[in-house]
């Protein structure tokens, strides 16, 4: 894994002004290194070069949604809300699967607050 990580970092260094190597490195960080926080930074950097990249935006939203659900399950509601708010920034279509999932979890938080 260390060699692969060095390879991704070298690719980023060589291929400047492109979001693709950054997104690929983000994928590696999520899947192989299990480091979503580091992946978020890579995906955000990728969006600087390709702000309309819906695939990268969806990956960011997925990470924030997953983290929000984890916080919700741990009854850490303020943290869950913060993660869902971050996810919302990367979900342009509220009728998409991610948009509906986000709305569902935000509704759960509102229910909890009313109790």
Tens-digit pLDDT profile for residues 34-75 = 999 999 999 999 999 999 999 999 999 999 999 999 999 999
Closest listed residue to residue 103, CA positions, set 63, 114, 91: 91
Would you say residue 115 has pLDDT above 80? no
What stretches of 15-115 show up as alpha helix (H) in DSSP?
20-31, 36-49, 54-73, 77-89, 97-114
* Mean pLDDT for all residues in the chain: 96
Q: Which two tokens stand for residue 14?
A: 């060589």
């Amino acid at each position: 894994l260390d060699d692969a990580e060095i390879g991704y970092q070298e690719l980023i260094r060589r291929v400047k002004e492109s979001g693709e190597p950054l997104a690929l490195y983000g994928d590696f960080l999520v899947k192989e290194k299990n480091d979503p926080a580091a992946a978020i930074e890579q995906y955000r950097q990728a969006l600087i070069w390709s702000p309309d990249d819906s695939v990268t935006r969806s990956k960011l939203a997925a990470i924030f949604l997953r983290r929000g659900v984890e916080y919700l399950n741990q009854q850490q509601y303020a943290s869950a809300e913060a993660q869902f708010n971050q996810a919302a920034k990367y979900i342009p279509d509220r009728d998409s699967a991610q948009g509906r999932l986000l709305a569902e979890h935000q509704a759960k938080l509102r229910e909890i607050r009313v109790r």
